[in-house]
Every structure is written in structure tokens, then in C-alpha cells.
Amino acid sequence: MTSVAPFRIGHGYDLHRLEPISAGRARPLIVGGIRLPHDHGPISHSDGDALYHATTDAILGALAQPDIGQLFPDTDPRHESQDSAAFLAEAVSRARAAGWLVINLDATVILERPKLAPVKEQMRANLARLLDVPTDRVNVKGKTHERVDAVGEGRAIEVHAVILLGRA
Ligand code: MG
């Protein structure tokens, strides 16, 4: 069968350990390009934006290209403290180069606190801008982990992202 299918679907997943910022190793908590007020932050080589990372991996996955860790290794000093919007922009430009456009994104952020609701619309707007789609094609859902396991105990943030690409 030839590859004439008009759609590609991709799934991305990311998790970052969260530690108290006062301990000195964690970065400020940034999700979907928004800095959240919190006393814990991610341990990460880049800025640790798990929503941007999962979305990047969803696109790369749909393209069947190397994943974010392969393209932007955390051993590369160029990515130290990197704004993760750059990773997402690179994935979108790879999609375009391969003849694909983003149709829609559905993402779930699992974070015990703080609540995402106050900034969810800003996250959607940031993602829509980077993905070059209208905001109504981007969905961000916030969930807690019901206080169980590492995520529920506030020791990690987890994100799932599903993306649909269509022929440009
Ligand atoms: Mg990550």
C-alpha cells in the first residue's frame, strides 16, 4: 500500500520530576509557555515545559521521525535552559517540510497543583500560535492524580498529547 493516507495521528507523553525550588535544582514551573506560581518546579535540562515536550513528540511521532530526546539531547549544552517553544516550532516546521499541517491537538496535563483553569486559555493560545491553527482546534485538559502515586503527591507532572495531521 502506498502512503496516500490523508491523515497521520501522533501521541506524545512526557513526565518531569518536580522538586522544591528552594532546594536549588528545580526550575520555575512552566506549562504551555505559562509560568505557574508554585513552590515546586521541574528537574530539566531545557525549561522543562512538559506540555510543549509532549506536543512536540506527538508531531514527531505522527511523522515517524526521531523523538524529542533524539533530536535535542539533554547532553547538548545548546539546549540548556532552552525555551521549549523552539522544540515545538522545529517539529511543526518538520511537519510542513514533509507536507503535513496540524488539524487539531488534544492534551491532558496531570498536575496535582496549582490548578490550570486560570491559565488554560493562555496555554491554548500559545499552542495555537505555535501550531499555526485557530484556538478552537487546541484543547488542554487539566486533571489531578487524586493524591495517589508520585504525580498525586506533587512529585511529578505528566502530559499526554494526541495530534492529528492532514495533508497540506
Ligand atoms: Mg520533557
pLDDT digit string, tens, across residues 74-115: 898 988 899 999 999 999 999 999 999 999 999 999 999 999
Interval between CA 44 and ligand 1 midpoint (Å):
7
* Residues contacting 57, CB < 8 A, separation 6+: 10, 11, 12, 13, 14, 67, 68, 161
Instruction: Report CA(17)–ligand 1 centroid distance (Å).
Output: 10
Q: How far is the CA of 52 from the centre of ligand 1 (A)?
A: 8
In tens, the pLDDT along 124-135 reads 999 999 999 999
Please check whether the domain covering 7-167 is classified as CATH 3.40.50.2300: no
Report the pLDDT value the prediction gives residue 5, as an integer from 0 to 100: 86
Q: Is the pLDDT of residue 2 over 80?
A: no
Q: Would the pLDDT of 1 be above 60? A: no
* CA 13 – CA 6 distance, rounded (Å): 24
Ligand 1 geometric centre to CA of 50 (Å): 5
